[in-house]
Protein backbone atom coordinates (compact mmCIF):
# COMPACT_ATOMS: atom_id res chain seq x y z
CA UNK A 1 0.00 0.00 0.00
CA UNK A 2 2.84 2.40 0.78
CA UNK A 3 4.35 1.68 -2.62
CA UNK A 4 1.04 2.60 -4.22
CA UNK A 5 0.93 5.70 -2.04
CA UNK A 6 4.39 6.72 -3.18
CA UNK A 7 3.32 6.22 -6.80
CA UNK A 8 0.26 8.38 -6.16
CA UNK A 9 2.44 11.11 -4.69
CA UNK A 10 4.87 11.06 -7.60
CA UNK A 11 2.07 11.07 -10.18
CA UNK A 12 0.44 14.02 -8.45
CA UNK A 13 3.65 16.02 -8.26
CA UNK A 14 4.38 15.26 -11.90
CA UNK A 15 0.88 16.40 -12.80
CA UNK A 16 1.34 19.65 -10.87
CA UNK A 17 4.73 20.48 -12.33
CA UNK A 18 4.35 19.35 -15.94
CA UNK A 19 0.76 18.89 -17.01
CA UNK A 20 -1.39 21.46 -15.22
CA UNK A 21 -2.09 24.66 -17.13
CA UNK A 22 -5.27 25.61 -15.24
CA UNK A 23 -4.53 28.52 -12.84
CA UNK A 24 -6.05 26.67 -9.87
CA UNK A 25 -3.82 23.64 -10.46
CA UNK A 26 -6.55 21.23 -9.36
CA UNK A 27 -7.26 17.86 -10.89
CA UNK A 28 -10.68 18.80 -12.26
CA UNK A 29 -9.77 22.40 -13.00
CA UNK A 30 -12.35 25.08 -13.67
CA UNK A 31 -15.61 24.34 -15.44
CA UNK A 32 -15.51 27.27 -17.84
CA UNK A 33 -19.08 26.72 -19.04
CA UNK A 34 -20.69 26.72 -15.58
CA UNK A 35 -18.24 29.04 -13.83
CA UNK A 36 -17.57 26.38 -11.20
CA UNK A 37 -14.47 24.86 -9.65
CA UNK A 38 -12.75 24.26 -6.34
CA UNK A 39 -10.95 27.38 -5.16
CA UNK A 40 -10.58 26.96 -1.39
CA UNK A 41 -6.82 26.50 -1.68
CA UNK A 42 -6.61 29.70 -3.74
CA UNK A 43 -8.44 31.48 -0.93
CA UNK A 44 -6.11 30.07 1.74
CA UNK A 45 -3.14 31.64 -0.02
CA UNK A 46 -5.07 34.90 -0.30
CA UNK A 47 -6.18 34.97 3.33
CA UNK A 48 -2.64 34.21 4.48
CA UNK A 49 -1.52 37.34 2.65
CA UNK A 50 -4.47 39.26 4.06
CA UNK A 51 -3.81 38.26 7.67
CA UNK A 52 -0.52 40.14 7.66
CA UNK A 53 -2.49 43.28 6.83
CA UNK A 54 -5.78 42.91 8.72
CA UNK A 55 -5.04 40.64 11.66
CA UNK A 56 -8.18 39.76 13.62
CA UNK A 57 -10.30 42.08 11.49
CA UNK A 58 -10.51 39.45 8.74
CA UNK A 59 -12.70 37.30 11.04
CA UNK A 60 -15.03 40.25 11.71
CA UNK A 61 -15.40 42.15 8.44
CA UNK A 62 -15.82 40.80 4.88
CA UNK A 63 -12.97 41.63 2.53
CA UNK A 64 -15.53 42.89 0.01
CA UNK A 65 -16.49 45.63 2.48
CA UNK A 66 -12.88 46.73 2.89
CA UNK A 67 -11.52 46.59 -0.65
CA UNK A 68 -12.90 47.45 -4.06
CA UNK A 69 -13.16 45.33 -7.19
CA UNK A 70 -10.64 45.90 -9.98
CA UNK A 71 -11.39 48.29 -12.83
CA UNK A 72 -11.48 47.01 -16.44
CA UNK A 73 -8.08 48.61 -17.07
CA UNK A 74 -6.59 46.93 -14.01
CA UNK A 75 -8.06 43.58 -15.06
CA UNK A 76 -6.59 43.89 -18.55
CA UNK A 77 -3.13 44.51 -17.09
CA UNK A 78 -3.14 41.37 -14.93
CA UNK A 79 -0.96 38.33 -15.75
CA UNK A 80 -2.72 35.72 -17.86
CA UNK A 81 -3.31 33.22 -15.03
CA UNK A 82 -4.83 35.80 -12.65
CA UNK A 83 -6.90 37.26 -15.48
CA UNK A 84 -8.20 33.81 -16.46
CA UNK A 85 -9.22 33.03 -12.88
CA UNK A 86 -10.85 36.43 -12.41
CA UNK A 87 -12.82 36.07 -15.64
CA UNK A 88 -14.55 33.01 -14.15
CA UNK A 89 -14.73 34.28 -10.54
CA UNK A 90 -14.87 38.09 -10.81
CA UNK A 91 -16.19 38.44 -7.28
CA UNK A 92 -13.01 36.87 -5.85
CA UNK A 93 -10.46 39.51 -6.94
CA UNK A 94 -10.00 42.80 -5.08
CA UNK A 95 -7.63 45.74 -5.06
CA UNK A 96 -5.71 46.10 -1.79
CA UNK A 97 -3.67 49.29 -1.26
CA UNK A 98 0.00 48.44 -1.06
CA UNK A 99 -0.29 45.15 -2.93
CA UNK A 100 1.60 44.91 -6.23
CA UNK A 101 -0.71 45.82 -9.10
CA UNK A 102 -0.16 42.47 -10.83
CA UNK A 103 -0.80 40.49 -7.62
CA UNK A 104 -4.20 41.55 -6.22
CA UNK A 105 -6.10 39.76 -3.48
CA UNK A 106 -7.78 36.59 -4.78
CA UNK A 107 -10.08 34.97 -2.24
CA UNK A 108 -13.48 33.26 -2.42
CA UNK A 109 -16.41 34.08 -0.10
CA UNK A 110 -15.15 37.65 0.15
CA UNK A 111 -18.71 38.78 0.98
CA UNK A 112 -18.53 37.23 4.48
CA UNK A 113 -15.82 37.19 7.17
CA UNK A 114 -13.33 34.32 7.15
CA UNK A 115 -14.15 31.11 9.02
CA UNK A 116 -10.84 29.23 8.85
CA UNK A 117 -8.57 29.00 11.94
CA UNK A 118 -5.09 30.58 12.10
CA UNK A 119 -3.10 27.33 11.62
CA UNK A 120 -4.20 27.25 7.99
CA UNK A 121 -1.63 30.01 7.50
CA UNK A 122 1.09 27.41 8.12
CA UNK A 123 0.05 25.73 4.88
CA UNK A 124 -0.50 28.95 3.00
CA UNK A 125 2.68 30.74 4.16
CA UNK A 126 5.14 29.37 1.53
CA UNK A 127 2.79 30.14 -1.36
CA UNK A 128 1.73 33.50 0.04
CA UNK A 129 5.27 34.71 0.71
CA UNK A 130 6.70 33.64 -2.63
CA UNK A 131 3.75 34.94 -4.62
CA UNK A 132 3.43 38.24 -2.76
CA UNK A 133 7.09 39.05 -3.44
CA UNK A 134 6.85 38.07 -7.10
CA UNK A 135 9.06 34.97 -6.85
CA UNK A 136 6.42 32.65 -8.29
CA UNK A 137 3.28 33.13 -10.36
CA UNK A 138 -0.32 32.94 -9.21
CA UNK A 139 -0.75 29.49 -10.74
CA UNK A 140 2.50 28.26 -9.20
CA UNK A 141 1.40 29.44 -5.75
CA UNK A 142 -1.74 27.33 -6.04
CA UNK A 143 0.18 24.28 -7.22
CA UNK A 144 2.66 24.65 -4.34
CA UNK A 145 -0.24 24.59 -1.88
CA UNK A 146 -1.53 21.41 -3.53
CA UNK A 147 1.94 19.85 -3.35
CA UNK A 148 2.00 20.37 0.43
CA UNK A 149 -1.39 18.69 0.70
CA UNK A 150 -0.12 15.73 -1.30
CA UNK A 151 2.88 15.33 0.99
CA UNK A 152 0.57 15.32 4.01
CA UNK A 153 -1.64 12.78 2.21
CA UNK A 154 1.33 10.45 1.95
CA UNK A 155 1.80 10.88 5.70
CA UNK A 156 -1.78 9.65 6.09
CA UNK A 157 -0.95 6.59 4.00
CA UNK A 158 2.10 5.78 6.16
CA UNK A 159 0.28 6.30 9.47
CA UNK A 160 -2.81 4.34 8.40
CA UNK A 161 -0.83 1.32 7.27
CA UNK A 162 1.63 1.27 10.21
CA UNK A 163 -0.52 -1.21 12.23
CA UNK A 164 -0.35 -3.63 9.31
CA UNK A 165 3.13 -4.67 10.49
CA UNK A 166 1.45 -6.54 13.36
CA UNK A 167 -0.60 -8.74 11.05
CA UNK A 168 -1.41 -8.52 7.32
CA UNK A 169 -4.97 -7.27 6.82
CA UNK A 170 -7.50 -9.21 4.79
CA UNK A 171 -7.78 -8.60 1.08
CA UNK A 172 -11.19 -6.84 1.37
CA UNK A 173 -9.76 -4.49 3.98
CA UNK A 174 -6.78 -3.72 1.77
CA UNK A 175 -9.10 -2.94 -1.13
CA UNK A 176 -11.36 -0.72 0.98
CA UNK A 177 -8.33 1.09 2.40
CA UNK A 178 -7.00 1.69 -1.09
CA UNK A 179 -10.39 3.07 -2.18
CA UNK A 180 -10.62 5.40 0.83
CA UNK A 181 -7.05 6.64 0.42
CA UNK A 182 -7.51 7.03 -3.32
CA UNK A 183 -10.59 9.16 -2.82
CA UNK A 184 -8.71 11.21 -0.22
CA UNK A 185 -5.96 11.71 -2.81
CA UNK A 186 -8.61 13.17 -5.08
CA UNK A 187 -9.71 15.72 -2.48
CA UNK A 188 -6.09 16.68 -1.85
CA UNK A 189 -5.72 17.29 -5.56
CA UNK A 190 -8.84 19.45 -5.44
CA UNK A 191 -7.24 21.66 -2.79
CA UNK A 192 -9.07 20.81 0.43
CA UNK A 193 -6.76 21.19 3.38
CA UNK A 194 -8.98 18.84 5.43
CA UNK A 195 -6.59 16.15 4.16
CA UNK A 196 -3.69 17.70 6.08
CA UNK A 197 -5.69 17.81 9.32
CA UNK A 198 -6.80 14.19 8.82
CA UNK A 199 -3.17 13.17 8.26
CA UNK A 200 -2.05 14.93 11.45
CA UNK A 201 -4.76 13.16 13.45
CA UNK A 202 -3.76 9.78 11.99
CA UNK A 203 -0.09 10.42 12.79
CA UNK A 204 -1.02 11.44 16.33
CA UNK A 205 -3.11 8.32 16.93
CA UNK A 206 -0.34 6.10 15.59
CA UNK A 207 2.14 7.85 17.89
CA UNK A 208 -0.22 7.15 20.80
CA UNK A 209 -0.27 3.45 19.88
CA UNK A 210 3.53 3.54 20.02
CA UNK A 211 3.46 5.30 23.42
CA UNK A 212 5.04 8.46 22.02
CA UNK A 213 2.83 10.54 24.26
CA UNK A 214 4.33 13.97 23.68
CA UNK A 215 4.33 13.81 19.90
CA UNK A 216 0.86 12.21 19.90
CA UNK A 217 -0.65 15.07 21.92
CA UNK A 218 1.06 17.72 19.82
CA UNK A 219 -0.08 16.19 16.52
CA UNK A 220 -3.66 15.73 17.74
CA UNK A 221 -3.79 19.27 19.12
CA UNK A 222 -2.55 20.75 15.86
CA UNK A 223 -5.04 18.62 13.88
CA UNK A 224 -8.11 19.86 15.77
CA UNK A 225 -6.95 23.49 15.77
CA UNK A 226 -6.07 23.26 12.08
CA UNK A 227 -9.57 22.07 11.26
CA UNK A 228 -12.38 22.10 13.87
CA UNK A 229 -14.22 19.34 12.03
CA UNK A 230 -11.58 16.93 13.38
CA UNK A 231 -13.23 17.27 16.80
CA UNK A 232 -15.53 14.51 15.53
CA UNK A 233 -12.97 12.05 16.93
CA UNK A 234 -13.11 13.59 20.40
CA UNK A 235 -13.21 10.28 22.38
CA UNK A 236 -9.95 9.15 20.77
CA UNK A 237 -8.24 12.40 21.73
CA UNK A 238 -9.40 12.01 25.32
CA UNK A 239 -7.71 8.60 25.39
CA UNK A 240 -4.51 10.07 23.98
CA UNK A 241 -4.34 12.83 26.59
CA UNK A 242 -5.42 10.51 29.41
CA UNK A 243 -2.54 8.17 28.71
CA UNK A 244 -0.17 11.13 28.46
CA UNK A 245 -1.41 12.47 31.81
CA UNK A 246 -0.86 9.09 33.50
CA UNK A 247 2.68 8.85 32.13
CA UNK A 248 3.49 12.55 32.57
CA UNK A 249 5.96 12.11 35.43
CA UNK A 250 8.03 9.64 33.44
CA UNK A 251 8.20 11.75 30.28
CA UNK A 252 11.21 13.74 29.17
CA UNK A 253 11.06 17.56 29.49
CA UNK A 254 10.56 17.82 25.75
CA UNK A 255 7.69 15.33 25.77
CA UNK A 256 6.04 17.17 28.68
CA UNK A 257 6.26 20.41 26.74
CA UNK A 258 4.66 18.69 23.74
CA UNK A 259 1.81 17.40 25.90
CA UNK A 260 1.14 20.87 27.31
CA UNK A 261 1.43 22.40 23.85
CA UNK A 262 -1.07 19.89 22.48
CA UNK A 263 -3.53 20.67 25.27
CA UNK A 264 -3.19 24.40 24.58
CA UNK A 265 -3.87 23.81 20.88
CA UNK A 266 -7.00 21.80 21.69
CA UNK A 267 -8.20 24.59 23.97
CA UNK A 268 -7.52 27.15 21.23
CA UNK A 269 -9.47 25.02 18.78
CA UNK A 270 -12.46 24.86 21.14
CA UNK A 271 -12.40 28.62 21.72
CA UNK A 272 -12.21 29.26 17.99
CA UNK A 273 -15.19 26.96 17.38
CA UNK A 274 -17.28 28.95 19.83
CA UNK A 275 -16.24 32.36 18.52
CA UNK A 276 -16.77 31.52 14.85
CA UNK A 277 -20.35 30.24 15.13
CA UNK A 278 -21.97 33.49 13.97
CA UNK A 279 -19.81 33.66 10.87
CA UNK A 280 -20.34 29.95 10.17
CA UNK A 281 -24.07 30.66 10.23
CA UNK A 282 -23.60 33.29 7.51
CA UNK A 283 -21.75 30.79 5.33
CA UNK A 284 -24.51 28.22 5.76
CA UNK A 285 -27.24 30.50 4.39
CA UNK A 286 -26.37 29.63 0.78
CA UNK A 287 -25.88 25.92 1.42
CA UNK A 288 -28.41 23.06 1.32
CA UNK A 289 -29.47 21.89 4.81
CA UNK A 290 -27.89 18.85 6.46
CA UNK A 291 -30.17 15.93 5.48
CA UNK A 292 -29.51 14.03 8.75
CA UNK A 293 -29.76 16.99 11.11
CA UNK A 294 -32.59 16.79 13.63
CA UNK A 295 -35.10 19.44 12.63
CA UNK A 296 -33.26 20.14 9.39
CA UNK A 297 -33.53 17.01 7.29
CA UNK A 298 -36.38 14.69 6.21
CA UNK A 299 -37.61 12.66 9.17
CA UNK A 300 -36.89 9.32 7.50
CA UNK A 301 -33.28 10.31 6.79
CA UNK A 302 -32.78 11.44 10.38
CA UNK A 303 -34.34 8.26 11.79
CA UNK A 304 -32.35 6.00 9.44
CA UNK A 305 -29.12 7.76 10.32
CA UNK A 306 -29.80 7.57 14.08
CA UNK A 307 -30.71 3.89 13.75
CA UNK A 308 -27.40 3.12 12.06
CA UNK A 309 -25.45 4.91 14.80
CA UNK A 310 -27.28 3.28 17.69
CA UNK A 311 -27.04 -0.18 16.13
CA UNK A 312 -23.31 0.13 15.52
CA UNK A 313 -22.71 1.44 19.03
CA UNK A 314 -24.72 -1.42 20.55
CA UNK A 315 -22.82 -4.06 18.56
CA UNK A 316 -19.48 -2.55 19.52
CA UNK A 317 -20.41 -2.41 23.20
CA UNK A 318 -21.40 -6.08 23.11
CA UNK A 319 -17.93 -6.85 21.77
CA UNK A 320 -16.29 -4.76 24.47
CA UNK A 321 -15.14 -2.02 22.07
CA UNK A 322 -16.14 0.91 24.27
CA UNK A 323 -13.81 3.40 22.60
CA UNK A 324 -15.14 2.53 19.15
CA UNK A 325 -18.73 2.82 20.40
CA UNK A 326 -17.98 6.25 21.84
CA UNK A 327 -16.46 7.37 18.54
CA UNK A 328 -19.54 6.22 16.63
CA UNK A 329 -21.94 8.07 18.92
CA UNK A 330 -19.88 11.24 19.39
CA UNK A 331 -18.66 11.48 15.79
CA UNK A 332 -22.10 10.70 14.44
CA UNK A 333 -23.71 13.34 16.65
CA UNK A 334 -21.10 15.94 15.68
CA UNK A 335 -21.64 15.15 12.01
CA UNK A 336 -25.41 15.27 12.34
CA UNK A 337 -25.43 18.67 14.05
CA UNK A 338 -23.50 20.48 11.31
CA UNK A 339 -25.57 23.08 9.52
CA UNK A 340 -24.79 21.80 6.04
CA UNK A 341 -22.75 19.06 4.38
CA UNK A 342 -20.40 18.83 1.42
CA UNK A 343 -19.05 15.72 -0.40
CA UNK A 344 -15.76 15.73 1.53
CA UNK A 345 -17.19 16.09 5.05
CA UNK A 346 -16.78 12.39 5.82
CA UNK A 347 -12.97 12.63 5.67
CA UNK A 348 -12.44 13.34 9.43
CA UNK A 349 -13.52 9.78 10.28
CA UNK A 350 -10.62 8.23 8.33
CA UNK A 351 -8.00 8.28 11.14
CA UNK A 352 -10.35 6.03 13.10
CA UNK A 353 -11.71 4.06 10.15
CA UNK A 354 -8.36 2.97 8.72
CA UNK A 355 -6.66 1.72 11.89
CA UNK A 356 -7.51 0.07 15.23
CA UNK A 357 -8.43 2.37 18.08
CA UNK A 358 -5.56 2.97 20.52
CA UNK A 359 -5.36 0.20 23.11
CA UNK A 360 -4.16 0.28 26.70
CA UNK A 361 -2.27 -2.94 26.08
CA UNK A 362 1.46 -2.84 25.39
CA UNK A 363 0.85 -4.81 22.20
CA UNK A 364 -1.87 -2.85 20.34
CA UNK A 365 -5.02 -4.80 19.68
CA UNK A 366 -5.82 -5.71 16.10
CA UNK A 367 -9.06 -4.66 14.48
CA UNK A 368 -11.75 -7.29 15.01
CA UNK A 369 -14.43 -8.16 12.48
CA UNK A 370 -17.15 -6.26 14.30
CA UNK A 371 -14.98 -3.16 14.55
CA UNK A 372 -14.06 -3.43 10.87
CA UNK A 373 -17.70 -3.77 9.80
CA UNK A 374 -18.62 -0.82 12.03
CA UNK A 375 -15.98 1.32 10.34
CA UNK A 376 -17.22 0.46 6.87
CA UNK A 377 -20.84 1.11 7.86
CA UNK A 378 -20.02 4.37 9.63
CA UNK A 379 -17.94 5.80 6.81
CA UNK A 380 -20.57 4.62 4.33
CA UNK A 381 -23.33 6.41 6.23
CA UNK A 382 -21.33 9.63 6.43
CA UNK A 383 -20.38 9.38 2.76
CA UNK A 384 -24.01 8.98 1.71
CA UNK A 385 -25.12 11.86 3.90
CA UNK A 386 -22.29 14.10 2.69
CA UNK A 387 -23.25 13.55 -0.93
CA UNK A 388 -27.02 13.56 -0.43
CA UNK A 389 -27.43 17.32 -1.09
CA UNK A 390 -25.66 16.88 -4.42
CA UNK A 391 -27.82 13.89 -5.39
CA gap 164, 181 in Å, rounded: 15
End-of-domain residue from the set 118, 144, 170? 144
Percent of the chain predicted with pLDDT > 70: 96
pLDDT at 176 over 70: yes
Query: Could you give the angle at which helices 171-189 and 2-18 cross, rounded to 10 degrees?
Result: 20
Percent of the chain predicted with pLDDT > 90: 63
Residues 135 and 237 in one domain: no
Contact yes or no for 32/88 (Cβ under 8 A): yes
CA gap 288, 309 in Å, rounded: 23
pLDDT tens for each residue of 319-344:
888 899 999 999 999 999 988 888 99
Residue 163 lies in a domain: no
Residues 133 and 259 in one domain: no
The reported pLDDT for the residue numbered 27 is 86
Q: For the chain, how many structural domains are there in total?
A: 2
End-of-domain residue from the set 113, 144, 175? 144
Residues 12 and 134 in one domain: yes
Residues 304 and 232 in one domain: yes
Contact yes or no for 132/85 (Cβ under 8 A): no
* 360-365: average pLDDT: 51
Residues 231 and 345 in one domain: yes
Residues 91 and 222 in one domain: no
Q: Greatest CA separation found in the chain?
A: 69
Residue 295 lies in a domain: yes
pLDDT at 361 over 70: no
Residues 124 and 209 in one domain: no
The reported pLDDT for the residue numbered 33 is 59
The reported pLDDT for the residue numbered 372 is 87
CA gap 270, 44 in Å, rounded: 21
Residues 251 and 321 in one domain: yes
Q: Using CA atoms in the order 4, 380, 232, 332, what is the torsion angle rounded to 10 degrees?
A: -170
Element (DSSP H or E) covering residue 65: helix 63-66
The reported pLDDT for the residue numbered 363 is 45
* 218 closest CA partner among 253, 155, 261: 261
* 182-196: average pLDDT: 95
Range of the domain at 98: 2-144
Q: Could you tell me whether strands 93-95 and 105-106 are parallel, antiparallel, or unpaired per DSSP bridges?
A: antiparallel
The reported pLDDT for the residue numbered 376 is 92
pLDDT tens for each residue of 280-328:
888 777 788 888 988 777 889 999 999 999 999 999 999 888 899 999 9
The reported pLDDT for the residue numbered 170 is 81
Residues 220 and 83 in one domain: no
Residue 325 lies in a domain: yes
End-of-domain residue from the set 108, 123, 144? 144
Residues 197 and 133 in one domain: no
Output the pTM of the full model: 0.93
- In DSSP terms, 289 is beta-bridged to 340
Residue 238 lies in a domain: yes
Residue 338 lies in a domain: yes
Residue 176 lies in a domain: no
Residues 91 and 223 in one domain: no
pLDDT at 360 over 60: no
Q: 98 phi and psi, to 5 degrees? A: 95, -20
pLDDT tens for each residue of 95-143:
999 999 999 999 998 989 999 999 999 999 999 999 999 999 999 999 9
Residue 177 lies in a domain: no
For the chain, list the strands marked E by DSSP.
Answer: 68-69, 93-95, 105-106
Residues 234 and 373 in one domain: yes
Residue 378 lies in a domain: yes
CA gap 57, 97 in Å, rounded: 16
Amino acid sequence: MRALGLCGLLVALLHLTCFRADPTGTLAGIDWTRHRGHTDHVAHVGETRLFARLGLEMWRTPAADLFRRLTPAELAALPADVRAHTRIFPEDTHFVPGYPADRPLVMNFAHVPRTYPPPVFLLGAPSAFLYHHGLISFGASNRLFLALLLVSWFGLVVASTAPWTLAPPSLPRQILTAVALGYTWYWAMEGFYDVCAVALAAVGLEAARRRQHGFACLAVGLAVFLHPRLFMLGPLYLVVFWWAARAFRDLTPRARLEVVGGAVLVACGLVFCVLIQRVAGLHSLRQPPNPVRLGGGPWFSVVAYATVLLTLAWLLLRQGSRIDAAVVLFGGLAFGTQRYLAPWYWLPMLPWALAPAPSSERIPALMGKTAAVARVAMVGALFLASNAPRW
